[in-house]
Amino acid sequence: MKKNAIVSFRGQKDIAATINLTGSKSESNRALIISALSKGVVKVENLSDAADTVILNRILRDLEINPATEKQTVDVGHAGTAMRFLTAYLSTLPQQFTLTGSGRMQERPIAILVDALKTLGADISYEKNEGYPPLNINGGLNSDAAEVSIKGNVSSQYLSALLIIAPTLPLGLRLKIEGGLTSRPYLEMTLNMLAATGIQHEWSDDTIYIAPQKHQEATLVVEPDWSAASYWYSITSLADTGDITLTNMREESLQGDSKIQEIMIALGVRTSRVPDGIELKTGTSVDIQEVLNLKDCPDLAQTIIVCAAAKGLNLSFTGLETLKIKETNRILALQQELAKIGVTLNEDNEVYTLNCDALAFPEKMTIATYDDHRMAMAFAPLSLLIKEVEIEDYQVVEKSYPDFWKDLETAGFTVNEL
């Protein structure tokens, strides 16, 4: 049963805390599929405890331990990354599957990936609605084609799913990216992780080529999650004074969301390197005139937009189009919830602009989360400015950051389940 919680912060808004973040969900899920394709040659350490990763790990273990002789149903629930990566991975296995997910997952498009896999010889059909899960997969992809074109401006996970299986295909894969590329750092993360397991690639202009090749013995160590770190940047920004240490964060990160260090300078947060990680400190905000392009880090959008709105900054953003096909339509969700503090988020030709002229904080507000973990975590820091913030379905954070509420309490917040 879904439960709500009241989040509040009593007393002086001075926060000093040390937080140990979970491993990156993005890295973990890529590492798990790479390990499965390597037949155990590649090991994985420091896996995320996010629900998406737990689900994917369980599915892969079940497939390894109990290879089915009959058609098998694989249910990913809300795990979007698992749906994309498994669509490609299951196509390579000589078995039959029905790949399904939650009601919302069955509303999230997957035709672009399915069409690309079909070009490579995959046998995939739609069980219900054309272009959407559930999928019927007759695996054992034995491609006599090695080239596919795919749009780069929808979801980088489609491209990553194809690249991860590429070295196991008989002819490898030549992947041509059509149009602009969204979330390039996520694609670079995939290629860097493959390289760490001995898989070489060539990237020239809009084409990536991976020849058929074997994984080499390797251990992929997952680093902490920069998207989880982003909520602590928001808290540091909205506190009177903040001094927060995030342990084990790497200076050189594979994650595009590490860009939060640079972006949040404008919102008054300074990042410095300390022996056991990074330290966030409250500083002075910087006036921003240009449009902030979040194309390479869309998972930061809700955190940054809510924080900017709470500070009364009429900022403009672009690169947000993929937010409409996430766990919910995140643009619409932001518009509806920001309206509760008098803020509008207006769209003009794919540029989104905050209008905070009517910003006002009530004594108490209730935030709908729309089955979206990032809505809960992006709005929770408003409890520094509002006496009580009620978060609907507050346990939705288990999807990516199960310890979020416990970590908030470590930092001095009060979280009371209703």
Amino acid at residue number 146: A
Instruction: Kindly list the catalytic residues.
Output: 299
Helix-strand-coil percent breakdown of the chain, rounded to 5? 35, 25, 40
Return d(Cα 270, Cα 283) in angstroms, integer. 6
Q: What is the pLDDT of residue 86?
A: 98
How far is C-alpha 11 from the geometric centre of its chain's CA atoms? 34
Q: What is the pLDDT of residue 293?
A: 93
Return d(Cα 299, Cα 285) in angstroms, integer. 22
**pLDDT tens digits, one per residue of 88-143:** 999 999 999 999 999 989 999 999 999 999 999 999 999 999 999 999 999 988 76
Ramachandran angles phi, psi of 261, nearest 5°: -60, -45
Return d(Cα 33, Cα 45) in angstroms, integer. 14
Q: What is the pLDDT of residue 307?
A: 98
Q: What is the pLDDT of residue 133?
A: 97
Q: What is the pLDDT of residue 69?
A: 74
Q: What is the pLDDT of residue 137?
A: 97
Res. 356: pLDDT tops 90: yes
**pLDDT > 70: what percent of the chain?**
100
DSSP-assigned beta bridge partners for residue 196: none
Least confident piece of the model among 68-82, 228-242, 370-384, 399-413: 68-82
Task: Give residue 70's pLDDT band: very low, low, confident or very high (50, 70, 90).
Answer: confident
Return d(Cα 149, Cα 151) in angstroms, integer. 7
**pLDDT tens digits, one per residue of 297-341:** 999 999 999 999 999 999 999 999 888 877 789 999 999 999 999
Res. 34: pLDDT tops 90: yes
Provide CB contacts within 8 A for 22, sequence distance 6+.
48, 49, 50, 224, 225, 228, 400, 401, 402, 403
Query: Are the CB atoms for 51 and 79 separated by under 8 Å?
Result: yes
Res. 68: pLDDT tops 80: no
Burial class (CB in 10 A: 0-12, 13-18, 19+), 346: exposed
Give the β-pairing of 202-204 and 207-210: antiparallel
Q: What is the pLDDT of residue 270?
A: 96
CB atoms within 10 A of CB 173: 24
Can you read off the two tokens belonging to residue 261?
Answer: 């260090």
How far is C-alpha 90 from the geometric centre of its chain's CA atoms? 22
DSSP string spanning 288-334? --SPEE-TT-GGGHHHHHHHHHHTT---EEE--GGGGGSSS-HHHHH
Three-class secondary structure of residue 103 per DSSP: coil
Task: Give residue 60's pLDDT band: very low, low, confident or very high (50, 70, 90).
Answer: very high
DSSP-assigned beta bridge partners for residue 389: 7, 365
pTM above threshold 0.85: no
Instruction: Respond yes or no on whether the N-terminal peptide bond of residue 275 is cis (omega within 30° of 0).
Output: no
Task: Give residue 66's pLDDT band: very low, low, confident or very high (50, 70, 90).
Answer: confident
Average of per-residue pLDDT values in the chain: 94
Of 254, 159, 175, the closest CA to residue 210 belongs to 175
Over residues 60-80, mean pLDDT: 88
Over residues 79-83, mean pLDDT: 92
DSSP-assigned beta bridge partners for residue 9: none
Return d(Cα 288, Cα 353) in angstroms, integer. 13
Task: Give residue 253's pLDDT band: very low, low, confident or very high (50, 70, 90).
Answer: confident
Domains in the chain, please, with CATH? Answer: 5-23+223-417 (3.65.10.10), 25-221 (3.65.10.10)
Query: Are the CB atoms for 356 and 343 separated by under 8 Å?
Result: yes
Sign of torsion, CA 225 36 99 132? positive
**pLDDT tens digits, one per residue of 365-380:** 999 999 999 999 999 9
Query: Are the CB atoms for 335 and 355 separated by under 8 Å?
Result: no
Burial class (CB in 10 A: 0-12, 13-18, 19+), 39: exposed
Of 308, 327, 312, 412, the closest CA to residue 81 belongs to 327
**pLDDT tens digits, one per residue of 163-189:** 999 999 999 999 999 988 877 889 999
Res. 251: pLDDT tops 80: no
